[in-house]
Amino acid sequence: MAVGEFDLIRRYFQHPLAQAGARAGVRLGNGDDCALLQPAPGQVLAVSTDMLVQGRHFFPDVAPRALGHKALAVNLSDLAAMGARPLAFTLALALPQIDEAWVQEFATGLLELADAHGCALVGGDTCAGPLNLCLTVFGELPPEQALRRSAAQPGDELYVSGHLGQARLALEALRGRWPLPAAALQRCRQRLEWPQPRVALGLALRGQAHAAIDLSDGLLADLGHVLRASGVAAQMDVPALLASAAVGPELRALALLEPALALTCLLAGGDDYELLFTAPVAARAAVERAGQEAGVALSRIGRIVAMADAGPPCRLVDAQGRPYTLPPGVELAGFDHFA
């Protein structure tokens, strides 16, 4: 039986506000010309949008449930990087044809993550076309506590959450550029396909961190965005990074066998969806508590310095502050969709 656009929405994308644990800020959900949102008193609405395209952001044979999860996860990651609490989202979806089993799996992955974050699906659009997902997410936060890219200050220390580089390592393995044993590949692929947005960490860092960004383009590229926005420079302590919790077991093993590839994955991996943030030295203990509250390891990997007249905004250094020379073969190009 042919299923139409409106049936599709009714069957798979109804998201009762109660099920989503929707907060009072959702004044009107699905089904009208517009949804109505109202941030809590004293708070503002944080808004972010991301588009995912087949072949660029996911493989054609990706499991639809994972795709539904990831489509929302990468958007929630932007809210986390701002310190915002998720409130709601919209979904626009172009589908080459209606495959109900596919849509059902996609919706399940999407709405399970939405429910876990009390984030209500409040509107959207469905049309026929090459597979394309565009989500816009909304969160709430007190504006004076927003973790802005432009707020890094000289003297701040530089942190990352979680493990870096696993998603990139999975990609390299799937492309046949590096052999990984099955269990390791499975763990890395999990990071690539089921990223967990660091929402709790972003909330815990409110009032403690200065600047934050989520790692989607790669550590150095995203650090570059923060430095440019803040008008500062950074010294990244590469040995500290390599010794830190940011390097999980797969990358630690890789570093022994093929250091250049390990550094490529760590410094320019992309798709990490961890948080990179800066905080003053005085906030060290509070930052540590924030990591514990959020249940994620934090690594201190460098510091923010005043912008120099010459030289790159991010200098790679060793523990003594001397220039650190990368081994040949490290690929540092920041991710650019048209490069």
Binding-site annotation, residues for ATP: 124-125, 149, 216
Contacts of 184 (CB under 8 A, 6+ apart): 249, 250, 253
- The residue range among 162-170, 212-220, 290-298, 320-328 that interacts with its own copies, by the rule CB under 8 A, is 212-220
The correct pick among 23, 102, 118, 149 for binding its own copies (CB under 8 A) is 149
Cα 293 to Cα 156: distance, rounded to the nearest angstrom: 22
286 is an interface residue for its own copies by CB under 8 A: no
The distance of closest approach from Cβ of residue 336 to its own copies in the complex, given in angstroms and rounded to an integer, is: 4
The correct pick among 28, 260, 297, 332 for binding its own copies (CB under 8 A) is 28
The correct pick among 14, 17, 23, 45 for binding its own copies (CB under 8 A) is 45
The correct pick among 171, 209, 213, 298 for binding its own copies (CB under 8 A) is 213
The distance of closest approach from Cβ of residue 255 to its own copies in the complex, given in angstroms and rounded to an integer, is: 30
CA distance to 144, 182, 193, per residue, from 187 (Å): 38, 9, 10
Q: Whose CA is closest to 234, among 280, 294, 303, 178?
A: 303
36 is an interface residue for its own copies by CB under 8 A: yes
204 is an interface residue for its own copies by CB under 8 A: no
Q: Which is nearer to its own copies, 89 or 324 (CB)?
A: 89
Cα 136 to Cα 181: distance, rounded to the nearest angstrom: 37
The distance of closest approach from Cβ of residue 254 to its own copies in the complex, given in angstroms and rounded to an integer, is: 28
143 is an interface residue for its own copies by CB under 8 A: yes
Q: Which residue's structure tokens are 């915002």?
A: 84
Contacts of 200 (CB under 8 A, 6+ apart): 293, 294, 295, 296
Instruction: Report the Cα 234 to chain-centroid distance in Å.
Output: 21
332 is an interface residue for its own copies by CB under 8 A: no
User: Are 88 and 37 a contacting pair, CB within 8 Å?
Assistant: yes
Tokens of 80: 């986390």
Taking phi first (over 0 means left), then psi (-120 to 50 degrees means alpha), and beta for anything else, what does residue 161 get? beta
110 is an interface residue for its own copies by CB under 8 A: no
- The residue range among 27-35, 113-121, 176-184, 249-257 that interacts with its own copies, by the rule CB under 8 A, is 27-35
Neighbouring CB atoms inside 10 A of 34's CB total 8
The distance of closest approach from Cβ of residue 31 to its own copies in the complex, given in angstroms and rounded to an integer, is: 7
173 is an interface residue for its own copies by CB under 8 A: no
Cα 241 to Cα 190: distance, rounded to the nearest angstrom: 23
Q: Which is nearer to its own copies, 25 or 302 (CB)?
A: 25
103 is an interface residue for its own copies by CB under 8 A: no
- Supply angle C-alpha 204, 208, 209, rounded to 5: 95
Q: Which is nearer to its own copies, 33 or 61 (CB)?
A: 33
Q: Point out the annotated binding site for substrate.
A: 57, 271, 335
- The residue range among 89-97, 153-161, 232-240, 253-261 that interacts with its own copies, by the rule CB under 8 A, is 89-97
119 is an interface residue for its own copies by CB under 8 A: no
User: Are 268 and 216 a contacting pair, CB within 8 Å?
Assistant: no
Within residues 217-246, the interface with its own copies by CB under 8 A covers 229
Within residues 64-83, the interface with its own copies by CB under 8 A covers 78-79, 81-82
**Letter for the amino acid at 240?**
A
Cα 181 to Cα 173: distance, rounded to the nearest angstrom: 10
60 is an interface residue for its own copies by CB under 8 A: no
The distance of closest approach from Cβ of residue 8 to its own copies in the complex, given in angstroms and rounded to an integer, is: 7
The correct pick among 50, 156, 271, 274 for binding its own copies (CB under 8 A) is 50
**Letter for the amino acid at 159?**
Y
